[in-house]
Structure 1
């Protein structure tokens, strides 16, 4: 089946997503759009020359009309946070970029599913939801998919068990107010705390989880990578590709993506990540996960932090 994916933004994240998609059998067409046309053309040329080892695929550096009939549009445009720049400064700058992009891309691809990756992703998802005019089901912020992947990586190393067996999630903002609802953290059907006890009885050198340290690991991983190599793009690209697979699958999956809240957990008019049912029609709805009072309060605090930023930006 012919599938078309358009990526807006040919920076490190957008280009790595394009490369990752080019190595999968997900898309038969990939369009890259960037204000710097030479950069987009260079990325496409480099990626295209490595596609002779797979089934034929069309990859072009195009303009907005080339996005016509896209199944998925991935928005990665924006600038990275600079030293001394506040989150609000970053938010307003990237919101302004998104406001210029949105009418151009929506005009050409009104039926596509939109994956918002640009940071601050929850704010950008909110703005796109408000200004695009599209049904909310078509708008999916990458949210805490990456945070959840980082959590499972950290738990896998500590618990000495495969990541695929770990069912634990990061909720809230993709940022400083994210949190782990440990009430719903399991290794297969066993709660993580019970798993530690069982592993110890087996003679394994598994320590109890330092839950404060684990959320710090999740929150600070991006900063550590940036400090060491200058940018993060591999893990987020794989996360976005996995989300694209979900959007093109024959059945739905539960993922932590950012989308508009409508009273769930007592939260409204803000985009953040909770358990969400996603599939080929986009977002079907949110799944209520049992959380204790403290966890629910953390989710509300995350929502309030995002609302405080929204209140200070020009929509």
Structure 2
């Protein structure tokens, strides 16, 4: 890979704003990945951030490459960060939708994002705080960055869950399942059934070749389990952290390595005539950010579903503006 096409991996600084379970688990995953040379934790609870940084530093001995981990009390420490990951905010509670969190976390972003942007005007913002699509849109407006440099984790996690569920149903490795969830990282998310495939065959064709019936009820169950996975986890343990931390680490990897990998991440644009709004579509990730190269070839039903999803997110954005 030409050096000009990747972030200099000899000195990759990542700042994580929010030392809660997602932020710290992400820091740990990044530390062990060997992708970064410096991790900075910023949290309103400075003592907690310092404690987590010291604990992580003790784990650095076992990392693939040595990385420095430290806590900071000022957003000025975001300077020179390749990526700033935003995980700070109120967590989703049992029975609560992601959109229910919007006002509290939007107010937090209104305070944090301008300070990050001022300290690190060339960084890439990676938003993980829910509701991630609404807050990705907010981060774009608050930072003044171009859309490609404000990325939400979006449905990357949902797509992973979707492939896991399809792989389990068909008895194949999820890595051999090609299927995506698009739209909102939330209740209006959309499984793209028309393009889902295994071994290069659409699901109906795969079933026909295998000699089994294509079970629409079972596929509805797969979609429902994918959509409800976070609720189930939160009901049982109060939070999600390992899956999303792994997804965030993977997104960082694609950016740092400038891999041009296609990932379903959230970014602001116009979708089926609705916009500007942030939602997830497959995007190419590299050192300059996220880029929508080719629109998905969706069925008419799926296009309508995407339009509804965009409309719901847009409605929440407008409700915030109305106060």
Q: How does 1:270-285 map to 2 (within 5 A)?
A: 270-285=277-292
Give the match for residue 248 of structure 2. Answer: 240
Residues 173 and 272 in structure 1, CA contact (< 8 A), matched pair in contact too = yes
Please tell me whether residue 6 in structure 1 is matched to residue 3 in structure 2: no
Specify whether residues 224 and 40 from structure 1 end up closer, same or farther in structure 2 by C-alpha distance, changes over 3 A only.
same
Give the match for residue 251 of structure 1. Answer: 259
Output the CA distance in 2 between the equivalents of 1:287 and 1:276. Answer: 9
TM-superposed deviation, 1:96: 0.2
RMSD over aligned Cα, in angstroms?
1.7
TM-superposed deviation, 1:184: 1.1
Range 275-284 or range 22-31, more displaced: 275-284
Task: Provide Cα deviations, 1:71-125, integer angstroms capped at 9, x if missing partner.
Answer: 0110001101346767555201100000100111111111111100000000000
Q: How does 1:14-33 map to 2 (within 5 A)?
A: 14-33=23-42
Please tell me whether residue 260 in structure 1 is matched to residue 271 in structure 2: no
Please tell me whether residue 308 in structure 1 is matched to residue 315 in structure 2: yes
Specify whether residues 195 and 86 from structure 1 end up closer, same or farther in structure 2 by C-alpha distance, changes over 3 A only.
closer
Output the CA distance in 2 between the equivalents of 1:145 and 1:250. Answer: 18
Instruction: Report the secondary structure of 2:263's partner residue.
Output: strand
Between Structure 1 and Structure 2, how many residues are aligned? 310
Residues 144 and 171 in structure 1, CA contact (< 8 A), matched pair in contact too = yes
TM-superposed deviation, 1:200: 3.5
Instruction: Report the secondary structure of 1:7's partner residue.
Output: strand
Q: 2:148 aligns with which of 137, 157, 161?
A: 137
Q: 1:215 aligns with which of 196, 220, 223?
A: 223
Specify every segment of 5 or more residues in structure 2 that has no aligned partner in the other structure, as ranges: 1-9
TM-superposed deviation, 1:207: 6.8
Specify whether residues 246 and 88 from structure 1 end up closer, same or farther in structure 2 by C-alpha distance, changes over 3 A only.
closer
Give the match for residue 125 of structure 1. Answer: 136
Output the CA distance in 2 between the equivalents of 1:87 and 1:57. Answer: 34
Give the match for residue 60 of structure 1. Answer: 70
Output the CA distance in 2 between the equivalents of 1:237 and 1:6. Answer: 14
Q: How does 1:76-225 map to 2 (within 5 A)?
A: 76-82=87-93, 89-200=100-211, 208=215, 210-225=218-233
Instruction: Report the secondary structure of 1:23's partner residue.
Output: helix
Range 114-123 or range 223-232, more displaced: 223-232
Specify every segment of 5 or more residues in structure 1 that has no aligned partner in the other structure, as ranges: none
Output the CA distance in 1 between the equivalents of 2:289 and 2:180. Answer: 20
Task: Provide Cα deviations, 1:120-178, integer angstroms capped at 9, x if missing partner.
Answer: 00000011111211111111110000000000110111111111111100010000000
Residues 163 and 179 in structure 2, CA contact (< 8 A), matched pair in contact too = yes
TM-superposed deviation, 1:194: 1.6
Instruction: Report the secondary structure of 2:319's partner residue.
Output: coil
Specify whether residues 269 and 229 from structure 1 end up closer, same or farther in structure 2 by C-alpha distance, changes over 3 A only.
same
Instruction: Report the secondary structure of 1:197's partner residue.
Output: helix
